Protein backbone atom coordinates (compact mmCIF):
# COMPACT_ATOMS: atom_id res chain seq x y z
CA UNK A 1 0.00 0.00 0.00
CA UNK A 2 1.39 3.39 -0.93
CA UNK A 3 1.91 5.69 2.02
CA UNK A 4 -0.08 8.81 2.58
CA UNK A 5 0.53 11.43 -0.07
CA UNK A 6 1.29 14.88 1.17
CA UNK A 7 -1.05 17.64 0.13
CA UNK A 8 1.40 19.41 -2.16
CA UNK A 9 1.24 16.60 -4.66
CA UNK A 10 -2.53 16.60 -4.76
CA UNK A 11 -2.56 20.22 -5.87
CA UNK A 12 -0.26 19.38 -8.74
CA UNK A 13 -2.26 16.30 -9.67
CA UNK A 14 -5.58 18.11 -9.78
CA UNK A 15 -4.08 21.08 -11.59
CA UNK A 16 -2.57 18.85 -14.23
CA UNK A 17 -5.85 16.97 -14.58
CA UNK A 18 -7.62 20.26 -15.26
CA UNK A 19 -4.96 21.38 -17.74
CA UNK A 20 -5.06 18.13 -19.63
CA UNK A 21 -8.81 18.16 -19.85
CA UNK A 22 -9.47 15.18 -17.62
CA UNK A 23 -11.67 17.53 -15.65
CA UNK A 24 -13.80 19.75 -17.86
CA UNK A 25 -15.09 23.21 -16.87
CA UNK A 26 -18.18 23.00 -14.74
CA UNK A 27 -17.42 19.48 -13.58
CA UNK A 28 -17.98 18.89 -9.90
CA UNK A 29 -14.94 17.93 -7.88
CA UNK A 30 -16.11 15.72 -5.03
CA UNK A 31 -13.67 15.43 -2.18
CA UNK A 32 -13.97 11.71 -1.48
CA UNK A 33 -13.76 10.86 -5.18
CA UNK A 34 -10.57 12.85 -5.58
CA UNK A 35 -9.11 11.36 -2.43
CA UNK A 36 -9.57 7.82 -3.78
CA UNK A 37 -8.46 8.78 -7.29
CA UNK A 38 -5.23 10.36 -6.11
CA UNK A 39 -4.67 8.13 -3.08
CA UNK A 40 -4.72 11.03 -0.68
CA UNK A 41 -6.60 11.91 2.45
CA UNK A 42 -9.72 14.01 2.27
CA UNK A 43 -7.98 16.74 4.22
CA UNK A 44 -5.25 16.92 1.62
CA UNK A 45 -7.79 17.15 -1.16
CA UNK A 46 -9.68 19.80 0.73
CA UNK A 47 -6.54 21.84 1.21
CA UNK A 48 -5.69 21.42 -2.46
CA UNK A 49 -9.12 22.68 -3.49
CA UNK A 50 -8.75 25.76 -1.33
CA UNK A 51 -5.40 26.45 -2.93
CA UNK A 52 -6.69 25.91 -6.47
CA UNK A 53 -9.63 28.18 -5.73
CA UNK A 54 -7.06 30.83 -4.84
CA UNK A 55 -5.43 30.27 -8.21
CA UNK A 56 -8.77 30.77 -9.90
CA UNK A 57 -8.84 27.28 -11.37
CA UNK A 58 -11.76 25.97 -9.36
CA UNK A 59 -14.81 27.58 -7.84
CA UNK A 60 -15.89 26.75 -4.32
CA UNK A 61 -19.33 27.45 -2.93
CA UNK A 62 -20.18 27.10 0.74
CA UNK A 63 -21.65 23.67 1.47
CA UNK A 64 -21.93 22.95 -2.23
CA UNK A 65 -18.46 21.82 -3.05
CA UNK A 66 -16.01 22.70 -5.78
CA UNK A 67 -16.20 22.64 -9.54
CA UNK A 68 -13.81 23.44 -12.35
CA UNK A 69 -14.19 27.08 -13.16
CA UNK A 70 -15.30 27.95 -16.67
CA UNK A 71 -13.83 31.15 -18.06
CA UNK A 72 -16.08 32.98 -20.47
CA UNK A 73 -14.85 34.58 -23.65
CA UNK A 74 -15.22 38.00 -22.07
CA UNK A 75 -13.06 36.94 -19.18
CA UNK A 76 -10.49 35.39 -21.50
CA UNK A 77 -10.24 38.75 -23.22
CA UNK A 78 -9.74 40.52 -19.90
CA UNK A 79 -7.08 38.02 -18.93
CA UNK A 80 -5.28 38.59 -22.19
CA UNK A 81 -5.49 42.34 -21.74
CA UNK A 82 -3.73 42.08 -18.41
CA UNK A 83 -1.23 39.66 -19.92
CA UNK A 84 -0.62 42.23 -22.63
CA UNK A 85 0.51 44.96 -20.28
CA UNK A 86 2.42 42.70 -17.90
CA UNK A 87 4.27 40.85 -20.64
CA UNK A 88 4.91 44.27 -22.17
CA UNK A 89 6.63 45.20 -18.93
CA UNK A 90 8.67 42.01 -19.08
CA UNK A 91 9.72 42.74 -22.66
CA UNK A 92 10.87 46.20 -21.66
CA UNK A 93 12.85 44.84 -18.70
CA UNK A 94 14.29 42.10 -20.89
CA UNK A 95 15.55 44.68 -23.34
CA UNK A 96 17.36 46.41 -20.49
CA UNK A 97 18.79 43.35 -18.80
CA UNK A 98 19.51 40.77 -21.49
CA UNK A 99 23.04 39.37 -21.64
CA UNK A 100 24.71 38.55 -24.93
CA UNK A 101 23.95 34.94 -24.18
CA UNK A 102 20.27 35.79 -23.78
CA UNK A 103 20.21 37.65 -27.06
CA UNK A 104 21.77 34.67 -28.81
CA UNK A 105 19.04 32.44 -27.41
CA UNK A 106 16.35 34.82 -28.60
CA UNK A 107 17.87 35.07 -32.06
CA UNK A 108 18.02 31.29 -32.20
CA UNK A 109 14.32 31.02 -31.41
CA UNK A 110 13.56 33.61 -34.09
CA UNK A 111 15.51 31.63 -36.67
CA UNK A 112 13.78 28.40 -35.72
CA UNK A 113 10.41 30.15 -35.90
CA UNK A 114 11.05 31.24 -39.45
CA UNK A 115 12.03 27.70 -40.35
CA UNK A 116 8.94 26.22 -38.67
CA UNK A 117 6.63 28.56 -40.58
CA UNK A 118 8.42 27.77 -43.85
CA UNK A 119 8.01 24.07 -43.16
CA UNK A 120 4.39 24.55 -42.14
CA UNK A 121 5.10 22.82 -38.83
CA UNK A 122 2.36 24.21 -36.62
CA UNK A 123 3.27 22.15 -33.59
CA UNK A 124 6.93 23.17 -33.64
CA UNK A 125 5.93 26.81 -34.07
CA UNK A 126 3.55 26.56 -31.13
CA UNK A 127 6.33 25.18 -28.97
CA UNK A 128 8.72 27.92 -30.11
CA UNK A 129 6.04 30.49 -29.32
CA UNK A 130 5.88 29.12 -25.79
CA UNK A 131 9.66 29.19 -25.52
CA UNK A 132 9.93 32.75 -26.76
CA UNK A 133 7.48 34.09 -24.20
CA UNK A 134 9.09 32.02 -21.47
CA UNK A 135 12.55 33.26 -22.39
CA UNK A 136 11.48 36.88 -22.37
CA UNK A 137 9.98 36.43 -18.92
CA UNK A 138 13.06 34.63 -17.69
CA UNK A 139 15.38 37.33 -18.98
CA UNK A 140 13.22 40.07 -17.50
CA UNK A 141 13.80 38.44 -14.10
CA UNK A 142 10.64 39.90 -12.61
CA UNK A 143 9.44 37.38 -10.06
CA UNK A 144 6.21 39.21 -9.26
CA UNK A 145 5.22 39.69 -12.88
CA UNK A 146 6.16 36.08 -13.50
CA UNK A 147 3.86 34.84 -10.75
CA UNK A 148 1.00 36.98 -12.02
CA UNK A 149 1.44 35.64 -15.54
CA UNK A 150 1.56 32.07 -14.30
CA UNK A 151 -1.75 32.53 -12.55
CA UNK A 152 -3.35 34.10 -15.58
CA UNK A 153 -2.04 31.52 -18.02
CA UNK A 154 -3.46 28.76 -15.87
CA UNK A 155 -6.92 30.23 -16.17
CA UNK A 156 -7.20 30.44 -19.92
CA UNK A 157 -4.88 27.67 -21.01
CA UNK A 158 -7.82 26.23 -22.89
CA UNK A 159 -8.37 29.39 -24.94
CA UNK A 160 -4.65 29.68 -25.64
CA UNK A 161 -4.38 26.17 -26.89
CA UNK A 162 -7.15 26.46 -29.44
CA UNK A 163 -5.67 29.65 -30.80
CA UNK A 164 -2.50 28.04 -32.10
CA UNK A 165 -4.49 25.69 -34.28
CA UNK A 166 -6.13 28.44 -36.31
CA UNK A 167 -5.03 28.12 -39.92
CA UNK A 168 -2.84 30.99 -41.05
CA UNK A 169 -2.30 32.16 -37.49
CA UNK A 170 1.45 31.54 -37.65
CA UNK A 171 2.04 33.74 -40.67
CA UNK A 172 0.29 36.59 -38.85
CA UNK A 173 2.18 36.26 -35.59
CA UNK A 174 5.63 35.47 -37.02
CA UNK A 175 6.53 39.06 -37.96
CA UNK A 176 5.26 40.21 -34.56
CA UNK A 177 7.49 37.72 -32.80
CA UNK A 178 10.45 38.72 -34.94
CA UNK A 179 9.88 42.37 -34.09
CA UNK A 180 9.86 41.54 -30.39
CA UNK A 181 13.21 39.76 -30.67
CA UNK A 182 14.66 42.52 -32.80
CA UNK A 183 13.60 45.23 -30.38
CA UNK A 184 15.07 43.41 -27.42
CA UNK A 185 18.32 42.78 -29.30
CA UNK A 186 18.42 46.50 -30.08
CA UNK A 187 18.04 47.06 -26.32
CA UNK A 188 15.14 49.40 -27.02
CA UNK A 189 12.86 48.93 -24.03
CA UNK A 190 10.07 51.12 -25.35
CA UNK A 191 10.04 49.41 -28.70
CA UNK A 192 10.15 45.97 -27.09
CA UNK A 193 7.16 46.80 -24.91
CA UNK A 194 5.26 48.20 -27.88
CA UNK A 195 6.05 45.11 -29.95
CA UNK A 196 4.90 42.74 -27.23
CA UNK A 197 1.71 44.70 -26.74
CA UNK A 198 1.01 44.79 -30.44
CA UNK A 199 1.46 41.04 -30.58
CA UNK A 200 -0.91 40.36 -27.71
CA UNK A 201 -3.41 42.90 -29.01
CA UNK A 202 -3.47 40.81 -32.16
CA UNK A 203 -4.06 37.71 -30.05
CA UNK A 204 -6.97 39.43 -28.34
CA UNK A 205 -8.50 40.37 -31.67
CA UNK A 206 -8.30 36.76 -32.76
CA UNK A 207 -9.81 35.32 -29.59
CA UNK A 208 -13.48 35.74 -30.61
CA UNK A 209 -12.82 33.75 -33.79
CA UNK A 210 -11.87 30.69 -31.83
CA UNK A 211 -15.11 30.97 -29.87
CA UNK A 212 -15.91 29.72 -26.42
CA UNK A 213 -14.27 26.40 -25.60
CA UNK A 214 -17.64 25.05 -24.53
CA UNK A 215 -18.93 24.74 -28.09
CA UNK A 216 -16.17 22.61 -29.51
Stretch that binds DNA, among 1-9, 133-141, 185-193, 204-212 (CB under 7 A): 1-9
51 binds DNA (CB under 7 A): no
Measured from the CB of residue 47, what is the shortest distance to DNA in angstroms? 7
Residue number with CB closer to a copy of itself (53 or 178): 53
When the beta carbons of 40 and 116 are compared against DNA, the nearer one is 40
Q: Does residue 42 bind DNA (CB under 7 A)?
A: yes
Q: Does 41 bind a copy of itself (CB under 8 A)?
A: no
Instruction: Give ∠ CA 31-156-210 in degrees, rounded to 5.
Output: 125
Question: Does residue 170 touch a copy of itself according to CB under 8 A?
Answer: no
> What CA–CA distance (Å, rounded) separates 214 from 40?
31
2/143 with CB nearer a copy of itself: 143
Three-state SS letters, the chain = CCCCCCHHHHHHHHHHHHHCCCCCCCCEECHHHHHHHCCCCHHHHHHHHHHHHHCCCEEEECCCEEEECCCCHHHHHHHHHHHHHHHHHHHHHHHHHCCHHHHHHHHHHHHHHHHHHHHCCHHHHHHHHHHHHHHHHHHHCCHHHHHHHHHHHHHCHHHHHHHHCCCCHHHHHHHHHHHHHHHHHCCCHHHHHHHHHHHHHHHHHHHHHHCCCCCC
Helix axes 7-19, 42-54, angle to 10 degrees: 60
Of residues 13, 14, 23, 46, which one binds DNA by CB under 7 A?
Answer: 46
Among 17, 60, 82, 112, binds DNA (CB under 7 A): 60
- Pick the piece of the chain touching DNA (CB under 7 A) from 60-68, 108-116, 150-158, 171-179: 60-68
- Residues numbered 128 to 167 that lie near a copy of itself (CB under 8 A) are 142-145, 147-148, 152
Contacts to a copy of itself by CB under 8 A: 6, 8, 43, 46-47, 50-51, 53-56, 62, 75, 78-79, 81-82, 84-86, 88-89, 142-145, 147-148, 152
Contacts to DNA by CB under 7 A: 4-7, 28-32, 40-44, 46-47, 60, 62-66
Amino acid sequence: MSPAVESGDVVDDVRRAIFEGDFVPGQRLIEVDLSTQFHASRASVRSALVQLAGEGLVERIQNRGARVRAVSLDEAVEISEVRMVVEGLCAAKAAQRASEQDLATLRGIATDMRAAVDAGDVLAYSELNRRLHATVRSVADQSVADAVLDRLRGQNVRHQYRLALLPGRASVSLPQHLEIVEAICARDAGRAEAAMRAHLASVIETLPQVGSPADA
